[in-house]
Amino acid sequence: MPGSTAREPWPTWPEGFAVSPEDRRAVLVLAALRALTPRQLLAVANEAGSASACLSLVRRGELGSENDGAFAHDLDADALAAGVGACGARLVTCDDADYPPALRTIHDPPMALFVRGGQIPPVTSAIAIVGARNCSDLGRELALETGRGLGEAGAWVVSGAARGIDSAAHEGALDVDGGTLAVLGCGIDVDYPKASRRLLERIAERGTIVSEYAPGVPPEPFRFPARNRIVAGLCVATVVVEGADGSGSSITGDHALEFGRDVYALPGAVNSPLSSVPLRLIRDGATMIRGAEDLLEDLGLDGAASPPRARLTVVEEAALDLLAGPTLPEHVGRGLGLSVPQVVSLLMDLEMRGLVRCVGGRYASTLRAARAREGEAAAAET
């Protein structure tokens, strides 16, 4: 789906808002407040002129909530700066040269970003993959394989490090040593969700983590829809894999359209609630894709991923032919003329290679198997 037409630019931060040391200290405090939103702050920033002037308004009770005012008096900028350093992060304000230019063109651009790991990729090589936390096995597989394909082609995968589709997309890129960036909906030093702690460590080591929130800011529900504008804003395109109506994936897709970015969707079964957002987007004009190859071709990115050679035996090929849907080993055995123990051994080997998945004692071929067999067929034709 092509992005929306050109419109009047949204308000942005005034030049020189966070240039001086005093203003950078003020940014640390403002980014640590619990209730003050970027929209509220931006509404007065151009009149106030600087971060320190905005902080004075907060402390006088003229901006933000009463609790914000009291909290701002208690916060110590030096302690916050130490917290940034302790988690290996750095502060990038709206006046810094490495502030992403793409974020200057979105609504409610972040005043600053806290960055862990490497650099923020250029918008032209960054693609968001978003979807449901409670995803299906197929949805996770789609996200994983799309992340792998983008990583192999040199594109960056951007997501929110949540469980489900987000985590699978990051993992796919990491599996092939590709670039990946996670946008947090909490303080830069907070590993949330806890189940993603090891994933976040891997991303910090080999990719990039960003947040608009200072160390210690808790992961409250309203912060996650807010972070989705940054996910969409950093990317040339957004891919929606699964999502129910009203979910974060729907919000991210809407932001991408609002910012004039492209939107793509991977379709699912029409009777699945998780297909609601992708199918709605496709009906409304989003581009339907089958995986990374379609996406890279549509975006005109170099180095489109190609299916790997499968190196399958005749028996393995025949087994995969019998696994169009979840299938019991007994059925595969009858089709191949093998005993159940022989079939289970065969299927377990295919599962270890990522070509088969087992759910509830039934086996089905994976997307990786389909890609691998396409590569084998293509190689046979040449």
Q: What is the pLDDT of residue 61?
A: 95
Q: What is the pLDDT of residue 293?
A: 85
Residue range 107-124: mean pLDDT, rounded: 95
Contact 186, 87 (CB under 8 A): no
Q: What are 343's two structure tokens?
A: 């079939």
Grouping H, G, I as helix, E, B as strand and the rest as coil, residue 366 is: coil
The rounded distance, in Å, linking the Cα atoms of 286 and 37 is: 31
- DSSP-assigned letters across all residues of 73-97: HH--HHHHHHHHHHTTEEEEETTST
Of 102-111, 292-301, 371-380, which one has max mean pLDDT? Answer: 102-111
Out of 2-6, 10-14, 169-173, pick the least confident. Answer: 2-6
Q: Average model confidence (pLDDT) for the chain?
A: 89
38-57 per-position pLDDT tens digit:
889 999 999 999 999 999 99
287-318 per-position pLDDT tens digit:
999 888 888 889 887 554 444 445 788 888 88
Q: What is the pLDDT of residue 302?
A: 58
Out of 10-14, 190-194, 200-204, 365-369, pick the least confident. Answer: 365-369
Q: Between 251 and 82, name the one with better pLDDT.
A: 82
Q: What is the pLDDT of residue 356?
A: 81
Reply yes or no on whether the pLDDT at 192 is more than 90: no
Burial 41-59 (b: 16+ CB within 10 A, else e): bbebbeebebbbbbbebbb
Q: What is the pLDDT of residue 285?
A: 85
Q: How confident is the model at residue 161 (pLDDT cuts 50, 70, 90)?
A: very high
Q: What is the pLDDT of residue 305?
A: 45
Reply yes or no on whether the pLDDT at 72 is more than 90: yes
Residue range 368-380: mean pLDDT, rounded: 59
Out of 177-186, 230-239, 336-345, pick the least confident. Answer: 336-345
Cα–Cα nearest to 258, from 109, 106, 101, 131: 106
Q: What is the pLDDT of residue 307?
A: 47
Phi and psi torsions of 154, nearest 5°: 90, 5
Residue range 269-277: mean pLDDT, rounded: 89
CA angle 182, 110, 36 (to 5 degrees): 110
Q: What is the pLDDT of residue 324?
A: 75
Reply yes or no on whether the pLDDT at 128 is more than 70: yes
The rounded distance, in Å, linking the Cα atoms of 43 and 48 is: 10
Reply yes or no on whether the pLDDT at 269 is more than 90: no
DSSP-based helix, strand, coil % in the chain, nearest 5: 50, 10, 40
